[in-house]
Structure formats: structure tokens, C-alpha cells
């Protein structure tokens, strides 16, 4: 069964796309936890960071290049948080590697204060 991210990548579900190339896509989070909250998602289906193989490590550089560009574009390059979850107890709800980027306000331990 396809994940929500696979459906967005295939344009089966709508999403606001900030950036896309052949390997990653950057979209707004549907349930933002900060004034600015976007996701950078691998197009290759990798269930989580724990399942990355050494041949996939280049994707991490690509992801962080996109994060850097997007934070500048959105004006939060001076202060933002990047996170990924592995496993349901850590908060992972979609089994597809993605990174959350949050900013645009003071972030506390659980998000914006």
C-alpha cells in the first residue's frame, strides 16, 4: 500500500510543493507545529533513517542542501529546527523517510511556545 507521500509524489493527492527534483520533494506539513513547517521527503521509498543503506547516504547531503535553500527562501535561515523520527514511539506516522523543518517563532521542547 502506498504511503501518503508516495501519493503526493505521484500527484494522486494535492500538496503545496516548494521544491522538487528527481530525488526529493519539499512540501508544507499538513499539520504544522510552527508558523513555518515543511517536509523534505525522499522520492525513493526508504521507511526511515534507520533503513538507509550506504548507497543512499548521498541523499542526506541533497536533503540538507534543500533545507538550506528553503530556509533562506522562507526567511528562517537564522533559526530553525530539523528533525526526523524513527518508529511509532518516536512519533513517526508515515513509514517513508522525511525531515521536518520548523521555524518562524520561538521553539520550545514541544514546538512553538
CATH assignment of 4-104? 3.30.428.10
| Residue 111 pLDDT class (50, 70, 90 cuts) | low
**Domain locations along the chain:** 4-104
Distance (Å) of CA 53 to CA 57, 97, 106? 7, 12, 35
Active site residues: 98
Average pLDDT over residues 59-74: 97
Note the pTM of the prediction, 2 decimals. 0.92
Average model confidence (pLDDT) for the chain?
A: 94
Determine the pLDDT at residue 110: 64
Amino acid at each position: 500500500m502506498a504511503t501518503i507521500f508516495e501519493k503526493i509524489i505521484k500527484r494522486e493527492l494535492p500538496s503545496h510543493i516548494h521544491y522538487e527534483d528527481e530525488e526529493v520533494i519539499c512540501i508544507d506539513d499538513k499539520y504544522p507545529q510552527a508558523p513555518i513547517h515543511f517536509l523534505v521527503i525522499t522520492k525513493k521509498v526508504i521507511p526511515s533513517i534507520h533503513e538507509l543503506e550506504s548507497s543512499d547516504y548521498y541523499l542526506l547531503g541533497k536533503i540538507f542542501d534543500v533545507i538550506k535553500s528553503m530556509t533562506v527562501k522562507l526567511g528562517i535561515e537564522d533559526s530553525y529546527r530539523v528533525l526526523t523520527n524513527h518508529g511509532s514511539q518516536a512519533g513517526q506516522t508515515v513509514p517513508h523517510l522525511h525531515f521536518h523543518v520548523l521555524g518562524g517563532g520561538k521553539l520550545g521542547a514541544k514546538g512553538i511556545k
